[in-house]
Amino acid sequence: MLTPRLGHASLKSADTDKGRAPSLHLERATEVVVIGAGAFGGWTALRLQELGATVTLVDAYGPGNSRATSGDELRGIRPGYGDREMYTRWAIEALEEWKRRDEEWGRTLKRPLFMPTGRLILKPEWDADLEATKAALDKYGVRNEVLDHDEVARRWPQIFTDDIGVGFFEPDSGLLRARQATETVGHAFQQAGGKLVVGRAALGRQAGGRLAEVQVEPGGTISGQEFVFACGAWLPRILPDVMGSRLRTTRGHVFYVGTPPGDNRFMYPNLPNWDVPGSTGFPAQSHDNRGMRVRVGGAPPADPDTVERTIDAAGFEVFRSFMAQRFPLLADAPVLETRVCFFENSIDSHYIIDRHPGLENVWIVGGGSGHGFKNGPVVGDYTAKRVLGQERDPELAAVFRLKDDQF
């Protein structure tokens, strides 16, 4: 469970009585404005509010909107990160928090946010990345299995595996309902006393190396003591001088495939999340009624506000070629839905959580690099504590700092 470091603040016993992560009572509430209500911004705003700050959350389109990096229906959660052991730890903590919040919010949720589907990695041969992943999972007591070709083919005959030499299975990994989760975090934030504003934010009045307010369209300004910009693909636009060359925003193509009526081979538990050369995907979930999710191919950067979220003929050709090779039983299956998902990648694929170099009370949070959603609860908790001066780990700060290297 994520619990705040107390510092000089005092616990509110009412929160501990409810079984929630304890909040803090600050001697003087800090007014914080968070821009962006996605996975990073929404969780940061919620944790700041729970820690005793007075928070306004601003988003151009609202939590869970279809343009956001945190949009779409599903995201995976898994602890395997090769030699980046820190993300293994964070993913374990995040999964515990997702489960705890499921219990806390269960009275209002129609469906749980987390679904334990497992994760299967398929590769031609055992490699250094799998070796490091296994070492980290073993260190933290996370269940895993190393499977040879014959065992993979026996368990999952619906996948073409003639070119696969090894499988690595993480049975405790799973799926998160992304859109529902983002909307739920936004609702919980408001229930905790936070204010949500739907509008486009931009830098406003500045004085003495500090930001005094943000301008919000349509009309008005919002002032604060601290500001957190967690805008995903919009960071280079809102902060062009700082972020214009520090993020590379790409688009991933997602297809929801209709499986044959009565055929459950492509549903959990007969198929887990899968990661194969060139693609990742999730099993068809009968209770979501969307089909099997396949992410393959993509497109160059584009304007996240105006680009049409459609996939062209070339993208469909890549998809059909992949399905014919890896899932031949679904080679001609109908596509039920498509998504175009934005990914904002940092230069080293680490998150960016750092102060603006020219504005001492402005924080920049981004660079999810395709794996940020799962860690939303931990990123939000960490960022909130840094903003409030309660988190001072220099090693983590060095990992998440704005790097000099640029794209």
Whether 331 and 270 share a structural domain? yes
Residues forming a β-bridge with 32 = 55, 226
Distance CA 132, CA 111 (A): 35
Whether 258 and 275 share a structural domain? yes
Q: Tell me: the pLDDT tens digits for 375-397?
A: 999 999 999 999 999 999 999 99
DSSP letter for each residue of 57-70:
EEESS-TT-TTSTT
Q: What is the mean pLDDT of residues 79-88?
A: 96
236: enclosing H helix or E strand: helix 235-238
Q: Judge whether 1 lies within some domain.
A: no
Q: Judge whether 270 lies within some domain.
A: yes
Q: Tell me: the pLDDT tens digits for 149-161?
A: 999 999 999 999 9
Residue 121 · residue 80 · CB < 8 Å: yes
Residue partners of 86: CB distance under 8 A and separation at least 6: 396, 399
Q: pLDDT grade, residue 70 (50/70/90)?
A: confident
Q: Judge whether 197 lies within some domain.
A: yes
Q: Judge whether 109 lies within some domain.
A: no
Whether 341 and 298 share a structural domain? yes
Whether 169 and 184 share a structural domain? no
Q: Tell me: the pLDDT tens digits for 163-192?
A: 999 999 999 999 999 999 999 999 999 999
Whether 321 and 354 share a structural domain? no
Whether 341 and 260 share a structural domain? yes
Give 140's DSSP letter.
T
Whether 274 and 226 share a structural domain? no
Whether 40 and 50 share a structural domain? yes
Q: Which of 311, 329, 345 is the last residue of a domain?
A: 345
pTM assigned to the model: 0.92
Taken in order 293, 275, 367, 46, the sign of the CA dihedral is positive
Q: Report pLDDT for 182.
A: 97
Residue 59 · residue 45 · CB < 8 Å: no
**pLDDT over 50 at 6, yes or no:** no
Whether 211 and 336 share a structural domain? no
In the chain, % of residues over pLDDT 70: 93
Q: How many domains, in total, are found in the chain?
A: 2
Question: Which of 50, 51, 54 is CA-nearest to residue 34?
Answer: 54
Whether 29 and 169 share a structural domain? no
Half-sphere exposure of residue 272, counting CA atoms within 13 Å on the CB side?
23
Q: Report pLDDT for 109.
A: 83
Q: Judge whether 297 lies within some domain.
A: yes
User: Which 3 state secondary structure label does DSSP give 114?
Assistant: strand
Residue 225 is part of a domain; what is its CATH number? 3.50.50.60
What the block records as the tokens of 331 is 């080679």
Q: Judge whether 271 lies within some domain.
A: yes
Query: 219: burial class by Cβ within 10 Å (0-12, 13-18, 19+)?
Result: exposed
Q: What is the mean pLDDT of residues 317-327?
A: 98
Whether 327 and 372 share a structural domain? no
Q: What is the mean pLDDT of residues 320-337?
A: 98
Q: Determine phi and psi for 19, rounding to 5 degrees.
A: 80, 10
Give the N- to C-terminal CA distance of the chain in Å, as an integer: 37
Q: Judge whether 150 lies within some domain.
A: yes
Q: Are strands 166-170 and 145-148 parallel, antiparallel or unpaired?
A: antiparallel
Q: pLDDT grade, residue 286 (50/70/90)?
A: low
Whether 236 and 381 share a structural domain? yes
More confident residue, 202 or 286: 202
Residue 153 is part of a domain; what is its CATH number? 3.30.9.10
**pLDDT over 90 at 347, yes or no:** yes
Q: Report pLDDT for 337.
A: 95
Q: Which domain holds residue 127?
A: 116-173+248-345
